[in-house]
Amino acid sequence: MKKALRIGVTGGIGSGKSLVCKIFQHLGAPVYDADSRAKMLMVSDEVLIRQIKREFGEQSYQVGGELNRGYLSKSVFNNPAQLEKLNQLVHPRVAADSENWFERNNGAPYVVKEAALLFEAGSYKQLDKMIVVTAPEELRIKRVLVRDKNRTADEIKKIIRNQMPESEKIAKADFVIHNDESELLIPQVLKLHERFIVNTKK
C-alpha cells in the first residue's frame, strides 16, 4: 500500500506555523498538531502521567487529574535541565501517538505534522520533507504579545533563546515559507501543496 507523504512544519514561536497548517488543512491535508496532542497526552496517557509524577512529584497533577500547569511551568521555565527532562518524557509518547495517526491517515496524498521542536526532538526523522516557517524576531515577539496578553517581551525572548536558532532550522529545511509580511502566505503554501500532490501521483 502506498504511504502518504509525511510533511513536517516547524518554526519558532510567533513564526506563523499554525497559520500555515490551517491553510494546508483548508486544502484538504490532515494535520497533526503535536503541541496540542502533547497537552492531551499529559492528562490521558497513563504511562506518561506516571513518568511525570515520578520525575516532578505528585503535585504535578491536581486532585481531579488535571495537569498542575502553574507548578510544572515554575519547575521547568528557568531550568533548562528540568525542561529537557520533561521533553525527554513527552516526546517519545508524542512520536508513538503520531505514528498511529500517520497509519490512520495513510489514504491521504500527504499529511502534515506541526510542532515547535521537530528538529530538537529528533521526530523530523519520521518525516519525508521539512518546512520551516520564518519571520524576523521583532515581528514574532509582536505577534505573541498580541495573541497572549499574559506574556512579556522578556519571557518571549527567553523562549526564543531556548529554541534552536532559526538559521539552523533553515539549514536543515527542505522548504522555507517566509511569513514576514513581504510576500503573501497562501501562494507559498499553495505552491507546496501542488508539488506534494504531484509527487504522490508519480
**Segment 49-90, tens digit of pLDDT:** 999 999 999 999 998 889 998 899 888 877 888 988 999 999
Which residues neighbour 93 within 8 Å (Cβ) at sequence distance 6 or greater?
38, 41, 45, 47, 48
pTM of the model: 0.89
Maximum Cα–Cα distance across the chain: 54
pLDDT tens digit sequence for 157-169: 988 888 889 899 9
Confidence of residue 18 (pLDDT cuts 50, 70, 90): very high
What pLDDT score was predicted for residue 162? 80
Q: Which of 139, 31, 186 is nearest to 177 (CA)?
A: 186
> What gap in Å lies between CA 145 and CA 137, rounded to an integer?
12
Confidence of residue 199 (pLDDT cuts 50, 70, 90): low
Compute the mean pLDDT over every residue in the chain, rounded to the nearest whole number: 91
